[in-house]
Amino acid sequence: MANVRRVGILAVAIAGLATASVLAQNAEAPKEPADAMAAAFERVKKFIEPGAQHKQLDRFLGDWEMETRFVMGGQSGPGEKGELKCTWLIDGRWIKLETSGKFMGRDYQGFMILGYDNFKMSYVTTSVSNMDTAMTHSEGDMDPGGDALLTYGTLDEYMTGEHDKMVKYVWRFPSSDKVVLEVHDLPIGEKNTKVVEFTFTKKP
């Protein structure tokens, strides 16, 4: 009888320990999702917060005079006047560039969004204008010296019927009050690919 009693007591003790273990695990379980969420947030934080690349956008801000020139075979045509106004679209993250003036003798309005995508590790642009019904995109990066921003994208050529022609955009910063944007038609070849040049001079 004593042995039976000992076995019963032992069984109760084991059951009690097992129950306590389960209860302890259940008590700690709610913390795990929160901890995992915090760890995940730390991993993605670098992708969602503005950084040094976004500070580069400051150089675009302000009111600018604009001159547009077509270029063929390395030779520039006459300039057409216009204006650029650049402000923050979302502070510290995205800028908007609003242009107006003359382009090919027509009244021109353009709108571009420019920013830096931390996850892509690229500057990205999206542009529209009243010259067509297209929305164009490009991606790229600053050169190592920070003197030029190069982005690449595609556009359609209405005159020839070509779709998705490769285009390179080069933003140059010769001084704090001057910015030059070159548009390069890459299928032309290795030389004389520049077809349009915009020169922006900051207003006093």
Q: CA–CA separation, 138 vs 123, rounded Å?
A: 8
Q: What CATH homologous superfamily does 52-202 map to?
A: Calycin beta-barrel core domain (2.40.128.20)
d(CA 80, CA 104): 8
Q: Where are the domains of the chain?
A: 2-48, 52-202
This prediction has a pTM of 0.80
pLDDT in tens, the chain (204 residues): 444 444 444 444 444 444 445 444 555 545 578 888 888 778 888 889 999 999 999 999 999 999 999 999 888 889 999 999 999 999 999 999 999 999 888 999 999 999 999 999 999 999 999 999 999 999 999 999 999 999 999 999 999 999 999 999 999 999 999 999 999 999 999 999 999 999 999 999
Q: Sign of torsion, CA 113 116 121 123?
A: positive
Burial class (CB in 10 A: 0-12, 13-18, 19+), 97: buried
